[in-house]
């Protein structure tokens, strides 16, 4: 594909007006919308910010590459923008960004588009090209510079390919070890697989050539796996480099010195990574070593809490589709029940299918917590342990209550660490039995140990605990209910989608599943709707305190808030956390408490204002939302400092 088809002149901004990262993103997204590259600004911007939240796309050396791939994009495009003064983009090297490449890829992008995007990304490690781009005055100059650079790269790639073939042949026939060059293999991967994957590949290859080191780099990008490493290449390598921000196929590197770093290190610290691999100073990777031995050897080790949180979020994120899908169908069934009756086939169909989905909540939660810890061998014991936690008779104690969500959480962590223990315990088995580990030994022993712990310990104890919690929730007075509703509502706004938000939401789901009482669902629903609605109210009535871009984004928060999408407030919270979060927590806590004071019950796990017909007191449900949102919106609007006027 001709790069001119990607680098549209109409989409270039040769003099970026923005002075902050948020303004730069807003200005570039607006440009895309103006030229028709995207048809939904808020969706595309949300995905851009989601990618930025993972790690800054300001890769250093004055370059930023924000990118997203979603259904808002109509055609694959790269927006080029320049800032004369530079912008603090929170880049990885801490320096201002001057050149911006906002990459837009449609959901259904074909391989041709993806190859062109990958090629374009890999060009940006060329310092000469970057220097010339900074000096470019017109859109035509930018296109011409990339055309020339692409032609040079294609010629170099062709020459390198021939050279690699010759080196491989020479290596195969060489008898003198002193004549062999150091050889390393690498894998690069980033979450979206559009830009950083290929920039890291190019940086590693260029640095290896300067150091006289032979290298082969496998890319796990948006096109899929390219340049797949063979077993012979891995065996021959002095060391392995993994520069990735997502999971890659690791067991094949068993027994090799392995450097495991973020993809940004592949771009910015290529020399350091290659030296570690060549000198074999990186730790030896053991495929059976479990989570502890598979940790990154980066300077910042994950804390115990961050590991637990990552495992928990893996379970919750895989459980949520069952919550939303099953919950919406159940909500529809309740609407049908009011009009066609409880014995109608339509009611029974929707209600039963929704309940079937809900019956998988705890098993799926436990299974994917276990997988996050112990990988695929932990799936079976995690799933069965979660199922045992969801059944009232699955233990030595006769109880009408199952261990529930608490038991399911524990089942996931127990199954994961049981598998880790088995991997360490059995690592010295004869190689002749290695093939039996994944298909026989881990499943059988993992299920046996996890099942025993659940049957004799977790289920008996937490069946009693869960029954006590359920009894307390069903019998608590109005005062206790208001306190709990206030707490849960406030938690929904503390981090707007983070651990506090998820903890409150998961607790409400667990209560709803156990009691079929939607009182706490009303509290968390109201608490989650308040932050974006408060943003919308503040930007509407205190316009002079917000930029034009912020006012436009504020309008979209009316829809996001009413839809129970708390994340709509995240961009504002990121730019002004004190004012946004404090005001939101106050309104959310009040709204959540009011639902319990008024005895509001919403038997649906999602839907925001659109499930109002299901509420037992729909007008009071809406009033709690309005009161919470207005209080937060007024506090934020009054408290927020006025914009500083440019002189």
DSSP calls for 441-506: IHHHHHHHHHHHHIIIIIHHHHHHHHHHHHHHHHH--HHHHHHHHHHHHHHHHHSSSSHHHHHHHH
Q: Rounded distance, CA 29 to CA 378, Å?
A: 42
Q: What share of the chain is helix, strand, coil (3-state, %, to 5)?
A: 65, 10, 25
Q: What is the pLDDT of residue 310?
A: 67
pLDDT tens-place string over residues 343-382: 888 888 988 898 888 788 889 989 989 988 888 889 999 9
Q: Name which of 635, 641, 532, 586 is nearest 46 in CA terms.
A: 532
pTM of full prediction above 0.85 = no
pLDDT tens-place string over residues 519-537: 889 999 999 999 999 999 9
pLDDT tens-place string over residues 79-124: 999 998 899 988 877 789 999 989 888 876 555 445 655 677 677 7
More confident residue, 135 or 401: 135
Q: Residue 420 above 50 pLDDT?
A: yes
Query: Which tokens hold the place of 45?
Result: 């911007």
| Lowest pLDDT segment from 96-100, 142-146, 348-352, 552-556 | 552-556
Q: What is the pLDDT of residue 619?
A: 95
pLDDT tens-place string over residues 601-622: 888 777 788 788 888 899 999 9
> 274: which residues sit within 8 A by CB, 6+ positions away?
184, 204, 207, 208, 211, 213, 215, 241
Q: Rounded distance, CA 344 to CA 338, Å?
A: 11
Query: Which tokens hold the place of 640?
Result: 């927020």
Q: What is the pLDDT of residue 315?
A: 81
Q: Rounded distance, CA 396 to CA 281, Å?
A: 52
pLDDT tens-place string over residues 294-309: 444 443 444 566 677 6
Query: What are the domain boundaries of the chain?
Result: 1-148, 180-283, 303-473, 476-637
E strand or H helix at 106 = strand 97-106
The CATH class given to the 180-283 domain equals alpha beta
Q: What is the pLDDT of residue 647?
A: 40
What is the pLDDT of the chain when averaged over all its residues?
81
Query: Which tokens hold the place of 237?
Result: 């390598």
Q: Residue 399 above 50 pLDDT?
A: yes
Q: Name which of 320, 328, 110, 65 is nearest 200 in CA terms.
A: 65
Query: What is the set of active-site residues?
Result: 67, 190
Q: Rounded distance, CA 44 to CA 37, Å?
A: 11
| Lowest pLDDT segment from 42-46, 49-53, 236-240, 580-584 | 49-53
pLDDT tens-place string over residues 219-263: 887 666 788 888 888 999 999 999 887 777 788 898 899 998 888
Q: Rounded distance, CA 271 to CA 275, Å?
A: 6
Q: Residue 479 above 90 pLDDT?
A: no
Q: What is the pLDDT of residue 403?
A: 76
Q: How confident is the model at residue 289 (pLDDT cuts 50, 70, 90)?
A: very low
- The bridge status of strand 214-221 relative to strand 183-189 is parallel
Q: What is the pLDDT of residue 477?
A: 60
Q: What angle do helix axes 548-562 and 21-34 make, rounded to 10 degrees?
A: 80
Query: Which tokens hold the place of 438?
Result: 């994944």
Give the residue-averaged pLDDT of 52-62.
79
Q: What is the pLDDT of residue 366?
A: 92
| Lowest pLDDT segment from 13-17, 148-152, 258-262, 432-436 | 432-436
Q: What fold characterizes domain 1-148?
A: Mannitol-specific EII; Chain A (3.40.930)
Beta bridge partners of 20: 88
């Amino acid at each position: 594909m001709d790069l001119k088809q990607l680098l549209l002149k109409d989409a270039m901004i040769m003099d970026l007006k923005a002075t902050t990262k948020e303004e730069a993103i807003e200005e570039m997204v607006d440009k895309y919308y103006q030229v028709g590259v995207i048809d939904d600004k808020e969706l595309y911007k949300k995905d851009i910010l989601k990618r930025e939240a993972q790690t800054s796309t300001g890769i250093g050396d004055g370059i930023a590459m924000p990118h997203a791939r979603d259904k808002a994009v109509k055609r694959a495009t790269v927006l080029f923008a320049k800032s004369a003064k530079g912008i603090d983009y929170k880049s990885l090297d801490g320096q201002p960004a001057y050149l911006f490449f906002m990459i837009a890829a449609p959901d259904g992008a074909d391989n041709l588009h993806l190859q062109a995007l990958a090629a374009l990304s890999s060009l940006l490690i060329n310092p000469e090209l970057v220097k010339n781009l900074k000096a470019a005055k017109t859109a035509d100059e930018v296109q011409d510079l990339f055309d020339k650079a692409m032609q040079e790269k294609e010629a170099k790639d062709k020459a390198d390919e021939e050279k690699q073939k010759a080196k491989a042949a020479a290596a195969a026939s060489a008898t003198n070890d002193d004549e062999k060059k150091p050889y390393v293999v690498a894998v690069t991967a980033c979450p979206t697989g559009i830009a950083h994957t290929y920039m890291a590949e190019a940086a590693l290859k260029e640095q290896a050539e300067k150091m006289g080191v032979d290298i082969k780099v496998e890319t796990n990008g948006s096109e899929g796996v390219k340049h797949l490493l063979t077993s012979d290449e891995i065996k021959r390598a002095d060391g392995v480099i993994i520069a990735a921000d997502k999971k890659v196929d690791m067991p094949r590197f068993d027994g090799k010195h392995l450097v495991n770093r973020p993809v940004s290190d592949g771009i910015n610290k290529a020399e350091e990574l290659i030296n570690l691999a060549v000198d074999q100073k990186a730790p030896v990777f053991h495929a059976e070593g479990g989570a502890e031995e598979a940790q990154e050897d980066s300077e910042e080790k994950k804390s115990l809490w961050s590991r637990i949180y990552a495992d928990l979020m893996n379970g919750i994120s895989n459980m949520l589709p069952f919550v939303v899908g099953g919950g919406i169908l159940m909500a529809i069934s309740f609407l049908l029940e009011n009009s066609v009756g409880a014995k109608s086939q339509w009611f029974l169909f929707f209600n039963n299918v929704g309940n079937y989905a809900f019956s998988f909540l705890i098993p799926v939660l436990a299974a994917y917590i276990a997988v996050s810890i112990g990988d695929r061998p932990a799936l079976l014991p995690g799933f069965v342990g979660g199922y045992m936690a969801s059944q009232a008779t699955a233990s030595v104690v006769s109880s009408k209550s199952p261990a529930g969500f608490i038991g399911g959480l524990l089942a996931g962590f127990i199954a994961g660490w049981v598998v880790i223990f088995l991997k360490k315990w059995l690592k010295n088995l004869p190689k002749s039995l290695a093939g039996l580990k994944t298909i026989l030994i881990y499943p059988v022993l993992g299920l046996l140990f996890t099942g025993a712990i659940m049957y004799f310990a977790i289920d008996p104890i937490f069946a009693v605990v869960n029954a006590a919690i359920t009894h307390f929730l069903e019998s608590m007075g109005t005062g206790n209910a208001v306190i709990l509703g206030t707490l849960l509502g406030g938690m929904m706004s503390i981090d707007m989608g983070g651990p506090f938000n998820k903890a409150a939401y998961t607790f409400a789901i667990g209560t709803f599943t156990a009691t079929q009482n939607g009182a706490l669902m009303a509290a968390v629903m109201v608490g989650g709707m308040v932050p974006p609605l408060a943003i919308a109210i503040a930007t509407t009535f205190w316009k002079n305190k917000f930029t034009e871009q912020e006012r436009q984004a504020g309008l979209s928060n009316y829809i996001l808030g009413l839809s129970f999408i708390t994340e709509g407030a995240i961009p504002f919270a990121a730019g002004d956390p004190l004012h946004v979060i404090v005001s939101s927590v106050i309104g959310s806590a009040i709204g959540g408490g009011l639902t319990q004071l008024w005895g509001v019950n919403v038997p649906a796990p999602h839907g925001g204002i659109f499930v109002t017909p299901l509420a037992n007191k729909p007008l009071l449900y809406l009033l709690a939302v309005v009161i919470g949102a207005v209080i937060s919106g007024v506090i934020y609007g009054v408290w927020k400092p006025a914009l500083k006027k440019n002189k």
